[in-house]
């Protein structure tokens, strides 16, 4: 059985390590699972992945026993519902700037009476109709995680985090730096991140972020419950460049 993302965060006594899946091949999922990542996030926002391809990637993650979230491209309820039906452990939702936004995405990810998600258990999440009770019960395990990536979102972090049904908070540092116009290493930018960390602690919510290198992940581990490191496409590219450089002496 695949552990849910919520269960993963609750059971680990260290920071959970994940990475983004951007390439449209199930081999990426298997390779990353064998590498030892704790979870994956299939990235529909910054890749050309469609719902059918995501469905196949999630199937591979299930086969590897690895919880996989999907970063949806927007807050559309139909997309959220479809990836959850395909077996996503939850959704990472970009551009959640207000508590109203947060309530909307929680509603899209929950069955009535807690939300508006359509009920159809003859899907992977319901074992194709063989586990209707499990499909219904999965409603309590679905992880809805808002991505905070604007000054408006940081200013409203406590109101957003107080929305019932959220599994965690996630800060998109690259998007936040662009949106605020602040340098990522500046004291002003660090103060924004510290405020989010303080809010997550006050709200007793897990906090996640994304970085490009293992060194950066080690630096952030003490203050984050889960950290995304790099992505499958970047890992392949970096390994290939290193190999060519080493072989050619360039």
Give the residue numbers marked as catalytic. 46
CA distance 163 to 100: 9
* CA atoms of 18 and 36, how far apart (whole Å): 9
For residues 38 and 208, give the distance between their C-alpha atoms in angstroms, rounded to a whole number.
Answer: 13
Q: Taking the CB of residue 56, how many other CB atoms lie within 10 A of it?
A: 15
Work out the end-to-end distance of the chain between its first and last CA atoms, rounded to an integer number of angstroms.
47
For 123-160, give one letter per residue: b (16+ CB within 10 A) or e: bbbbeeeeeeeebeebbebbbbbbbbbbeebbebbeeb
Whether the Cβ atoms of residue 108 and residue 74 lie closer than 8 Å to each other: no
Orientation angle between helical segments 51-63 and 77-85, nearest 10 degrees:
30
């Amino acid at each position: 059985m695949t552990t849910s993302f919520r269960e993963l965060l609750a059971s680990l006594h260290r920071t959970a390590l994940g990475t983004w899946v951007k390439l449209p091949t199930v081999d990426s999922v298997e390779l990353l699972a064998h590498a030892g990542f704790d979870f994956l996030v299939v990235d529909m926002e910054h890749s050309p992945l469609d719902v059918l391809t995501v469905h196949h990637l999630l199937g591979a993650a299930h086969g590897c026993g690895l919880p996989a979230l999907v970063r949806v491209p927007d807050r559309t309820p139909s997309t959220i519902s479809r990836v959850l039906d395909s077996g996503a452990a939850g959704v990472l939702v970009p551009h959640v700037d207000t508590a109203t936004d947060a309530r909307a995405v929680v509603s899209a990810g929950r069955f009535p009476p807690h939300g508006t998600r359509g009920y159809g258990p003859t899907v992977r999440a319901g074992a194709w109709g063989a586990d209707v009770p499990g499909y219904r019960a999965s409603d309590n395990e679905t992880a809805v995680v808002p991505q905070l990536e604007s000054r408006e979102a940081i200013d409203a972090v406590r109101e957003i985090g107080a929305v019932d049904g959220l599994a965690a908070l996630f800060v998109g540092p690259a998007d936040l730096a662009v949106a605020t116009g602040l340098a990522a290493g500046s004291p002003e930018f660090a103060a924004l991140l510290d405020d989010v960390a303080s809010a997550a602690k006050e709200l007793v919510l897990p906090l996640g972020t994304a970085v490009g290198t293992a060194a950066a992940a080690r630096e952030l581990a003490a203050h984050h419950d889960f950290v995304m490191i790099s992505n499958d496409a970047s890992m392949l590219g970096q390994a290939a460049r290193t190999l060519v450089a080493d072989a050619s002496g360039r």
